[in-house]
Amino acid sequence: MNPELSSLFKLGRAERLQLVEDLWDSIAMEDGNLPMPGWKADELRQRKERFTQNPDSGRSWEEIKQRIGHEL
């Protein structure tokens, strides 16, 4: 354990959870500024094209939630 961070482990559970949430949010904000890899952009482009050609091929959010509920 890093001695500089040892005081963080003395915080209460709620305070540590809040710290984790704050750290995660800060990372997420930084990720929004990262360039998208080419493979990911290509995949998104292909998915959009497939959907545009056949918009009825997908499932609604309600259908997805029902399916997940049955599998859990």
pLDDT digits (tens, 9 = 90+) for 31-72: 767 788 999 999 999 999 999 999 888 888 999 999 898 765
Q: How confident is the model over 20-28, as a mean pLDDT? A: 92
Query: Which secondary structure element, helix H or strand E, spans residue 10, and what is its range?
Result: none
Q: Are 57 and 50 in contact (CB under 8 A)?
A: yes
pLDDT at 69: 85
Domain count, the chain: 1
State which residues form the domain around 43: 3-71
CA distances 70 to 13, 52, 59, 61, Å, are: 33, 29, 15, 14
pTM comes to 0.45
At 28, the pLDDT band (50, 70, 90 cuts) reads confident
pLDDT at 72: 55
Angle (CA) 28 20 24, round 5°: 5
CA distances 54 to 9, 38, 45, 59, 67, Å, are: 53, 24, 14, 12, 22
